[in-house]
Amino acid sequence: MRHSTLRQLELFEAIARLGSFTRAAEELFLTQPTVSMQIKKLSDTVGMPLFEQVGKKIYLTDIGHELHRTCLGISEHLSNFEMIAADMKGLKKGKLRLAVVTTAKYFAPRLLGTFCQQYPGVDVSLKVSNRERVLERLASNLDDLYILGLPPVDVDVVAEAFLENNLVVIAPANHPLAKKKRIPLERLVKEPFLLREPGSGTRMATERKFDESGLKLKMRMELGSNEAIKQAVIGGLGVSVLSRHTLELDTPSKQFVVLDVKGFPIKRHWYFVYPSGKKLSIIARTFVDHLRQASQV
């Protein structure tokens, strides 16, 4: 590999990512023959084919997969070098890739906003998805940091709590229980429940709470987003348990209420998470410090 160039590796990474010589050439403003020639030279240097074509699609060979992992490592090292150079000049420049579960979208943009105001040279990428997708990204190490309401137990990660995430019971404003005090769980389970999809951190915490009391929820509907649940609650379809963070923007509407239920709110926290052994970039470490400071405000 001594005779391969960074440009060849850049071309190779683009093809592997896009799955197309043509699209890689377009992205890098090169002709397709130029791309093909450089990849042939890279393959000759390796001594083995890096791609194989099946029908109209191209796939990485086994050695191609190994080289792709190497390219990602080189790219990360170069990005870190750029950040170190900027940091030594007294600047904070670089990229921050953040993936968060859907409920975190109610506060994560505000935290990013204050961070970017402080460090305008930082380019931020924010991915919002359900817990399953965020855990897939975590397993593939696609981002710098992940924000979850419940760290995974089957993956070796570093996880640190930084913000309270209390779960509350909500109901329509005109619900018969709206003005009741200290509602027993035994009474609440008689109500139809609206729950997030299986695997949701909020759903797991809710089911665990009732399981501990030997109670089973009467589920009426399973919905894939907090917004859908809130609208269903307002429509009188049932009650639900949501993070208090999801309610902040809706409080003035008075279309639903937080019920006073024994054992609620469920006390939880938000965590920032990253794979064990991962060396955080300067920007990621700075953002972690920002999260810690924000939690103390």
- Please indicate, yes or no, whether the overall pTM of this predicted structure exceeds 0.75: no
Mean pLDDT of 20-48: 89
Tell me what pLDDT residue 238 has: 94
Tokens of 109: 């943009």
* CA atoms of 95 and 125, how far apart (whole Å): 8
Bond prior to 184 in cis (omega within 30° of 0): no
Strands 167-172 and 122-129: unpaired
Tell me what pLDDT residue 249 has: 60
**265-291: pLDDT as tens digits:** 999 999 999 999 888 888 888 899 999
Query: In terms of Cα–Cα distance, which of 166, 263, 164, 260 is closest to 211?
Result: 263
Beta bridge partners of residue 222, listed in sequence order: 195
Asked if the model's pLDDT at residue 296 lies above 80, the reply is no
* CA atoms of 160 and 269, how far apart (whole Å): 9
Mean pLDDT of 220-240: 91
Domain 92-164+270-295 -> CATH class:
alpha beta
Domain ranges of the chain: 6-70, 92-164+270-295, 167-267
| 134, 183, 236, 277 from 148: Cα distances, Å | 8, 29, 30, 19
Tell me what pLDDT residue 251 has: 47
Domains 92-164+270-295 and 167-267 alike in fold:
yes
* CA atoms of 22 and 3, how far apart (whole Å): 25
- CATH architecture observed for domain 167-267: 3-Layer(aba) Sandwich (3.40)
Angle between helices 282-295 and 62-88 (to 10 degrees): 70
Alpha helices (H) along the chain: 6-18, 21-27, 32-46, 62-88, 108-118, 131-139, 185-188, 201-212, 226-234, 282-295
Residues in the chain: 297
Mean pLDDT of 161-178: 92
- CATH architecture observed for domain 6-70: Orthogonal Bundle (1.10)
Asked if the model's pLDDT at residue 84 lies above 90, the reply is no
* CA atoms of 62 and 10, how far apart (whole Å): 19
Mean pLDDT of 218-246: 90
pLDDT band at 252 (very low <50, low <70, confident <90, very high): very low
Q: What is the mean pLDDT of the chain?
A: 87
Tell me what pLDDT residue 207 has: 92
Tokens of 249: 């923007």
Burial of 57 (0-12, 13-18, 19+ CB in 10 A): exposed
